[in-house]
Amino acid sequence: MVEFSARGSKWQAVLRSVVVVVGLAGATWYGWGSRGAWAEEPESLEAQALRYVRQLGADSYRDREAAASWLVAHGTVARDALLTGLKMPDLETRLRAHELLEQILHSGFEARLRDFVAGKPQADAPPNWKSFAAIVGDTTKARAFYAAMFRKHASLLASCNLEEGLDEATRKRLTEQLDKVRQQRFTPFNNRTAIDQATAGTWFFLTHGKFLDATSEVAFVARVYSLQSYGKVDYKDPTLAKLVDAWASSRRAGYTAGLALELCLQARRMKTAVRLARKALGDSSINGRQIYTAAMVLARNGDLRDVPLLEQFLDDTDVMHTHHDRRISSKPIQIRVQDAVLAMLVHLTGQKLSDYGYKHARRDPKTLYYVYTLLFLSDKDRQAALEKWTRWRKSDAARKLLASVEQKTGEAKPNGQTKDGDQN
């Protein structure tokens, strides 16, 4: 399969000409591949094409239809003449030229995409397919997914060279698209899906860590993460799932790594989430929210080998959440990092939270527990819970439980948890 180079000046010139002159939404209908893909036709054909373009404005309906049929049948040969027709003084000629040019370009564009998806030996690959395939693999489903992305965002994907990273012009255009969606207003009476599969795939692809530098990563990751509530994205799609896993795993550390972890949790990419959680807990810049999210992921889908990793946060007294509930206390209730982490440790080891004084703990069907319910009303209650954990940790039951997981790597969790709805 031939890989088209997006850096070619001839391609860029063609792309600009279609955008400016034709003004079509799918600006890259000229196709990709070298100009040599279409053999030069004799001069007489080009002159004949121009003559038929002029005939589009003829008085006779039959003459106009005959001209249109000839131009469509000759496809690429007629393009230059049709572009000339867009500037002719006759309005009928201009309108018909625009219509036919759109039809010819679209049919050629679709034919090339079909050949690409089918994997035909001489088919040209769309720009940046090689970079996409390096992330998700070269399969028929992956090619079909990329073809859908290219139909939706051909101009954006064709105008950048990802082998050299995300250039400034592409960053600007991508940012404009992301912000345009964020500025839309959605109500129960305006339930439009602003993000479709192709758009989500394009954003996850273009904002992969290998294409971004550290300075631009935060802005893009925050935008992509915040847009998840604007559409219904099917993360069960195998190609999109691979994109999400790769996108999340490519995050460096700190804030962006935390957002990637949360998105994997929303998308039910739990194996990836577990890897990110373990990585995050070893990052010195991690904050309270990220600690809890990582701890919750490990309590839900990790294993008993994660106990020592979580225990290092039992002395973290930072307040991660303040809760107001006058039915429980007249004063604001401060939930510390150690409170949440201890609850996750208790859950992970198959014990009951109520035995540790978590009287208000409530399960969250989407995650594990509602963080604002993992509270202690007094330092005395908190200290008692921590001391109970210390005693249990030294018990024979704890030593036996923790030793069992070392005998077999990756065995099922002993606390009876299920993974209904979890993927990968």
pLDDT of residue 69: 86
- 167 in a domain, yes or no? no
- 208 in a domain, yes or no? no
CB 30 within 8 A of CB 18: yes
| Cβ within 8 Å of residue 232, ≥6 positions away | 193, 195
pLDDT of residue 78: 81
pLDDT of residue 104: 77
Whole-structure pTM value:
0.74
pLDDT of residue 185: 62
Please count the structural domains in the chain: 2
| Cβ within 8 Å of residue 175, ≥6 positions away | 219, 220, 223
- 26 in a domain, yes or no? yes
Alpha carbons 226 and 324: distance in angstroms, whole number:
26
pLDDT of residue 23: 41
Domain end position, chosen among 120, 137, 171:
120
CB 126 within 8 A of CB 150: yes
Q: What average pLDDT values come out for the chain (424 residues) when binned by 10 residues? A: 40 40 38 42 71 90 88 78 88 88 79 90 89 96 95 86 88 88 63 76 94 89 85 89 96 91 92 95 90 96 94 95 88 94 97 96 92 94 97 94 66 43 59
Q: Domain limits at 39? A: 1-120
Alpha carbons 339 and 358: distance in angstroms, whole number:
9
Least Cα distance to 358 among 349, 342, 330, 111 occurs for 342
User: Is residue 3 classed as helix, strand or coil in its secondary structure?
Assistant: strand
CATH code of the domain covering residue 62: 1.25.10.10
Domain end position, chosen among 50, 85, 120:
120
Residues 27/29/35/36 CA torsion (nearest 10 deg): 170
What would the pLDDT profile of 345-390 be if each residue is shown by its tens digit? 999 999 999 999 999 999 998 889 999 999 999 999 999 999 999 9
Domain end position, chosen among 75, 92, 120:
120
Q: Is the dihedral of CA 7, 8, 14, 16 positive or negative?
A: positive
pLDDT of residue 230: 72
Number of alpha carbons in the 13 Å side-chain half-sphere of residue 415: 21
Least Cα distance to 89 among 116, 53, 120, 48 occurs for 53
- 98 in a domain, yes or no? yes
Alpha carbons 88 and 53: distance in angstroms, whole number:
10
DSSP string, 274-328: HHHHHHHTT-TT--HHHHHHHHHHHHHH--GGGHHHHHTTTT---EEEEE--TTT
pLDDT of residue 367: 87
Would you give the end-to-end CA distance of the chain in angstroms?
31
Alpha carbons 6 and 2: distance in angstroms, whole number:
13
- 384 in a domain, yes or no? yes
- 206 in a domain, yes or no? no
- 341 in a domain, yes or no? yes
pLDDT of residue 130: 94
pLDDT of residue 326: 85
- 371 in a domain, yes or no? yes
CB 314 within 8 A of CB 281: no
